[in-house]
Amino acid sequence: MGGGGGGGERGEDSLLSYYCIKFALSAYATLFSLIGLVIFCVGIYAEVERQKHRTLEGLFLAPAVILLLLGLTMFAVSFIGMVGSLRDNRNMLRTFFCVLLAIFLIELLLLLVEIIFERQMNAVFHSSIQDGIRHYYDDLDFKNILDFVQQKFSCCGGDEFRDWDVNPYHSCNSSGPLACGVPYTCCIKQAPGEVMNTLCGYRTLNKERLELVDIIHVRGCIHAVGLWLKDNFEASFGIVCSLLLPQAPGLTCFGFSKDK
């Protein structure tokens, strides 16, 4: 009888573990499906606004499209995981796990490509950013993104601050108050919370870097963002692993071994 009682306890423990894994996966997938739905809705709103003011084409200049794709992908994949875990559908769980694993491997591949072909990737980014800078005042999407990057990462332009010479308003060959200067988002704040002078980058493109180290950020944004990614590689890799790896044992046990 003792053996039968032990078997019953083991059966109850196994059943409890099964339901814990089941509802943990459901909660995880539900959370990310909701996040994906929110991102998708934000992307729809951003795309509607972009269509009203659009003057340029191209995915690089249309972050709303990226939000739409990201949100739709997150929602679709997470929804499959949620339904699969609730209905004990092993095929859906296999699909959920395989897609997550593929996304993880693609991220690793992109990191390796960036590391191995850093110079070529920088050239592509530089060309794209220069094209965006050329139409800086014509496309609000790109303008807002570049302004944010320049302020967040304390940088200016793509490869260097002189990239702004390709803009017809900032070119040294043009006339007007912006000629031969850079946007105020390139300027160094002298004190936290101070009101920025929008003409603080006046007549900076024709000066040497050493003359400008206390006025504007002379480092290009490609290098600034690249350094930030390298400095935070371990943290980013840890976040990705923490999202994927905890699911592996549960998905394996729940999706591949559990009989329907």
Q: In this predicted structure, what is the pLDDT of residue 62?
A: 59
- 110, two tokens: 């992109």
pLDDT value of position 20? 75
- In angstroms, rounded to a whole number, what is the distance separating the alpha carbons of residues 14 and 81? 22
State residue 216's pLDDT score: 93
Give the amino acid at 235.
Answer: A
Sign for the pseudo-dihedral over CA of 122, 210, 149, 170 = negative
pLDDT at 170 over 60: yes
Specify the length of the chain in residues.
260
pTM comes to: 0.61
How many Cβ atoms from other residues are within 10 Å of residue 159's Cβ? 18
- E strands within 38-145? none
Q: For residue 28, what are its two tokens?
A: 């995880």
Q: In whole angstroms, how far apart are CA 69 and each of 48, 92, 96?
A: 15, 21, 18
Q: Say how far apart CA 77 and CA 84 lie, in whole Å.
A: 11
Query: Which residues face 216 on adjacent strands?
Result: 187
Beta-carbon contacts of residue 178 (< 8 Å; ≥ 6 apart): 169, 170
* Residue 178 contacts residue 194 (beta carbons within 8 Å): no
- Residue 112: is its pLDDT beyond 50? yes
Q: What is the pLDDT of residue 249?
A: 53
Q: Which domains does the chain have, with CATH numbers?
A: 12-118+245-257 (no CATH), 139-229 (1.10.1450)
pLDDT of residue 163: 94
Distance (Å, rounded) from C-alpha 26 to C-alpha 236? 25
- Give the model's pLDDT for residue 59: 44
Q: 218-252: per-residue pLDDT in tens?
A: 999 988 988 887 777 666 666 666 655 655 555 55
pLDDT in tens, 172-218: 998 888 999 999 999 998 776 667 778 888 889 989 888 898 899 99
